[in-house]
Structure 1
Amino acid sequence: MYINYSTSGQLVLPMDIEVLIPKHHLCRIVDIAVEQISPKLLSSLHPGGGRPSYHPRMMLKIILYAYANRMYSSRQIAKQLGENIYFMWLSGNQKPDFRTINRFRSTRMKDIIYQTFFGIVDLLCKEGLVKLEDYYFDGTKVEANSNRFTFVWKKSIEKYDKALDEKYQQIVLGIERIVKEDQLAENEKDFQEKLEETPITSDKIKETIKEVEVRLEKEPKNKELKRAKRTLEKDLLPRKQKYEDQKAIVGDRNSFSKTDHDATFMRMKDDHMRNGQLKAGYNVQIGTEGQIITGFSIHQRAGDPGCLIPHLDLLKKYNRPKPKVLIADSGYGSEENYTYCEEEEIEALVKYNTIDKEQTKVWKQQIGRLENMVYDEELDEWICANNKRLVFTYESKKKSDNGYISIKRTYQCIDCHNCPFQSSCAKDKDTKSISVSMENQKQRKEVRERLSTKVGDKKYRQRKIDVEPVFGQIKHNRQFQRFSLRGLSKIQVEWGLICAAHNLLKWTKLISH
């Protein structure tokens, strides 16, 4: 059950607001887009019970229109509902307060933000504005709504936790000496080794405290036992519990913020002090076509290479059309990403990190570079520019954060001692050695071939004027440089609304010309 809501004829006196709104105004596009979203999707936002809720279509319209006009505060949006005729028309002259707006945005929308966003993308596809074939991909870091200096580092947690464990071991050894002085003198080494092998947890410290309490019942005047119990209770146990909680929060990341646990500290280009200072933030990734955002994802890792596969998997999760061509910069040119694209039958126009340097004269003159060597497939050897051979010595495996296993083969030169290039090629080592992934070498060759074609070169050049300007429009033109909400689920909602608002602005611009 909803409060009666209509966008026509709200004001009989003195006039209908609708006559003041231009034909191709942004608020009309917002109205059209939201009206075509599935009713089942929006009805799921109403929990039922209590007084009738504001209609979710109306709430979504005013929020999208606000985001398109650089208004990200729920208080600002609530203020506009009584002052701005475009907001008044979209809201049917209803005035939800800022708490209602914020609750709808941060809580109700979190389960349907991707469906809402992709629904607008499908509408743009029906209008012929996107084909969902080429996928221009890039990422940027956006500052979290958290204190810039309340950070916790994983290495510090592990360092202090290790020191705590050592202190606990010393206390336990001291307790054992008090109770069993003679016996421990004989078996102290064995007892200490056993103690070090057992993981120390807050539960184990609690058990030790109980054991000390039992012993104190027999020796109530033992000052050393009392001191040990006090140290365990007041110092070690609270700290151990704190470190366990922090380890659970940080997970596989290297840091987190105390004021937004989901935010990770990252080095950002647009730092407020212009010196690349670390700030808590999120790594946002988008795919575009014609500067229209066709996919987005939020990541807690700072590096871009590991974000591509989770992003594309997210598209699969929501049954999105698979991109035919993926265009991205060299930050995503890894063996893992190339392999994924091959398996998914996506043509990857993604440079690797040295592709441009390989064409320079300086690079070609460096005799120690793998790219300047020739591979003898029959003998499984590499031949350098000075005709020296590097033979296979061993093979190693490396597993990525996403679970991909890459195999690298190491080759070593057998005749470096008499070579005039030994010092520069081997970099002051006795012999020259290289570590190479044969699979990645094959992939790099294929990438060079794809990018050398006219179509491939044209599409890759298009990337600079397709995906990169979108970040400029959002972060600079619309001044969205810091999230307003906290927590990963709420951040996804906020960035999804930003992307949807951006697409509606593009739609308005295209039909008005």
Structure 2
Amino acid sequence: MEKRHFRPYIQNQIVLFPERVDKDIAEDDPVRFISAIVDGLDLEPFKKLYYTMGRSPYHPKMMLKVIIYAYMNNVYSCREMEKRLLRDTHFIWLAGGEKPDFVTINRFRNRVKREINEIFTQLVLLLAERGLISLDVEYIDGTKIESKANKYTFVWRKNVERYRSNLMEKLRVLLQQVDDVIIQDQQAKPEVVEFTPTELTSIVEELKEALDKEPAPETKEAKAEHRKRKKQIKTLEEHRDKLAEYDQRLDQLGKRNSMSKTDPDATFMRMKEDAKGKGLAKPGYNLQIATENQIITDYALFPNPSDTCTLIPFVESFQERYDHLPTTVVADAGYGSEENYRFMDESEMDAYVKYNYFHQEQRPRYKNNPFLPEHLYYNA
């Protein structure tokens, strides 16, 4: 019988001279491109985020390479990055054999949120220097990203304003019952002044102090009156806390009409993708992206559900980032409005932006309809 021979298989063999980690990584592999790009960036702003005392931290250049390459491979979990740093040759080579845990990776990611924006700008400018893009043309489009917040944690501005107005009326009635002097002071003023949580706190303290100074009630009627006043003061405290909550909600809303309790930055808007097909409003963000030659050159998040209101601030953010406006703007009909056209005309931009009714106006039934307001004869 013929004998078979196999290659030696020794799991725990000892190597005298260790091999290079990157010997099996191709020269044109994207991981080498990422490493070279980050090596050429100015990471001086990152140094101010670290303390001069204590244990030496991981190098920010190494951490940035690992996170960028992980995102490039659709890996967003810090725990998954930690695993890759232990068993993936590409990650091991990028990290130089360092093994930061998932907590360290997450802390670094949260710490450098603002600095990452500057790194993005540096990278785009580097591509412009190499001639890959010109930064003169902006192809703009947006997409809505659903928040991880619960969709039933909505807060609507109209409801908050209505509840707050009703609460103010309850406060005036309650204060009139508790102390006539307070309500007389309010009526003596030329305009009705709304109460603030701070003012209500001082009023509650005054009422408590006055109630404590009174002698202990002896008769049944006096005890009932004493309990009634204590209950009124407690109700006043509850109204004060509710008023503070409404004021906080209005501050968080800003100019928006809605928000989520668990994610105050998210605004309720209708998403394109809905499994049930009902078009329900969900908490989310309107992400605007500008590209040129298939390379992202700018991005920004907006609370506006419609794209029309985002064009001007988005183009202005491009100017803040690169110190000049684009000469050409290309966008779909969702960005067409008189205000946007005027802005692009005054900024001397070539606007390739349709308006909402552009395609409808090309139809024969629209052109031949003499009863539309647009087709009526205007007699000056």
Instruction: Give 5+ residue unaligned stretches, structure 1.
Output: 1-10, 375-382, 384-388, 392-513
Amino acid of the residue matched to residue 346 of structure 2? E
Amino acid of the residue matched to residue 193 of structure 2? T
- In terms of mean alpha carbon deviation, does 193-202 or 117-126 score higher? 193-202
User: Higher relative contact order at CA 8 Å, sep ≥6: structure 1 or structure 2?
Assistant: 1
CA contact (8 A) 1:173 1:192 kept: no
CA contact (8 A) 2:141 2:290 kept: yes
Shift of the alpha carbon at 1:320?
4.3
The answer on 1:50 being equivalent to 2:50 is no
The answer on 1:89 being equivalent to 2:84 is no
Measure, in 2, the Cα distance between the counterparts of 1:193 and 1:80: 72
What SS does the aligned partner of 1:49 have?
A: coil
In structure 2, do the counterparts of structure 1 residues 12 and 357 end up closer, same or farther at CA, with 3 Å as the change threshold? Answer: farther
CA contact (8 A) 1:42 1:57 kept: no
Q: Which of 118, 121, 124 matches 2:124?
A: 121
In structure 2, do the counterparts of structure 1 residues 124 and 237 end up closer, same or farther at CA, with 3 Å as the change threshold? Answer: same
What SS does the aligned partner of 2:290 have?
A: strand
Q: 1:134 — aligned with what?
A: 137
Q: 1:203 — aligned with what?
A: 198
In structure 2, do the counterparts of structure 1 residues 191 and 89 end up closer, same or farther at CA, with 3 Å as the change threshold? Answer: closer
Shift of the alpha carbon at 1:194?
5.9
Structure showing greater Rg: 2
Q: 2:4 — aligned with what?
A: none
CA contact (8 A) 1:358 1:371 kept: no
Q: 1:302 — aligned with what?
A: 305
Q: Please list, as runs of the form range in 1=range in 2, the aligned pairs for 1:107-186 lying within 5 A after superposition.
A: 107=111, 109-176=112-179
What SS does the aligned partner of 1:137 have?
A: strand
CA contact (8 A) 2:207 2:233 kept: yes
Q: 1:238 — aligned with what?
A: 241
State the superposition RMSD in angstroms. 2.6
Amino acid of the residue matched to residue 82 of structure 1? L
- In terms of mean alpha carbon deviation, does 212-221 or 25-34 score higher? 212-221
Measure, in 1, the Cα distance between the counterparts of 2:43 and 2:250: 42
In structure 2, do the counterparts of structure 1 residues 268 and 173 end up closer, same or farther at CA, with 3 Å as the change threshold? Answer: same
* Percent identity (aligned): 38
Measure, in 1, the Cα distance between the counterparts of 2:85 and 2:319: 38
Amino acid of the residue matched to residue 296 of structure 1? Y
Q: Which of 277, 280, 286 matches 2:289?
A: 286
In structure 2, do the counterparts of structure 1 residues 240 and 195 end up closer, same or farther at CA, with 3 Å as the change threshold? Answer: farther
What SS does the aligned partner of 1:200 have?
A: coil
Shift of the alpha carbon at 1:13?
4.6
Shift of the alpha carbon at 1:331?
1.2
Q: How many residues align?
A: 357
Q: 1:328 — aligned with what?
A: 331
Q: 1:315 — aligned with what?
A: 318
TM-score by length of 2: 0.86
What SS does the aligned partner of 1:356 have?
A: helix
Shift of the alpha carbon at 1:191?
6.8
Q: 1:459 — aligned with what?
A: none
CA contact (8 A) 1:169 1:196 kept: no
Shift of the alpha carbon at 1:117?
0.7
Measure, in 1, the Cα distance between the counterparts of 2:187 and 2:368: 59
TM-score by length of 1: 0.65
Measure, in 2, the Cα distance between the counterparts of 1:191 and 1:280: 41
Q: Which of 77, 81, 103 matches 2:81?
A: 77
Q: 1:228 — aligned with what?
A: 232
Q: 1:62 — aligned with what?
A: 66
Shift of the alpha carbon at 1:196?
8.0
In structure 2, do the counterparts of structure 1 residues 101 and 13 end up closer, same or farther at CA, with 3 Å as the change threshold? Answer: farther
The answer on 1:15 being equivalent to 2:19 is yes
Shift of the alpha carbon at 1:291?
1.7
In structure 2, do the counterparts of structure 1 residues 174 and 36 end up closer, same or farther at CA, with 3 Å as the change threshold? Answer: same
Measure, in 1, the Cα distance between the counterparts of 2:258 and 2:294: 33
Q: Deviations over 1:434-459 (max 9, x none)?
A: xxxxxxxxxxxxxxxxxxxxxxxxxx
Shift of the alpha carbon at 1:150?
1.9
Measure, in 2, the Cα distance between the counterparts of 1:115 and 1:207: 47
Measure, in 2, the Cα distance between the counterparts of 1:176 and 1:314: 55
Q: 1:412 — aligned with what?
A: none
What SS does the aligned partner of 1:197 have?
A: coil
What SS does the aligned partner of 1:298 have?
A: strand
The answer on 1:24 being equivalent to 2:15 is no
Measure, in 1, the Cα distance between the counterparts of 2:304 and 2:313: 11
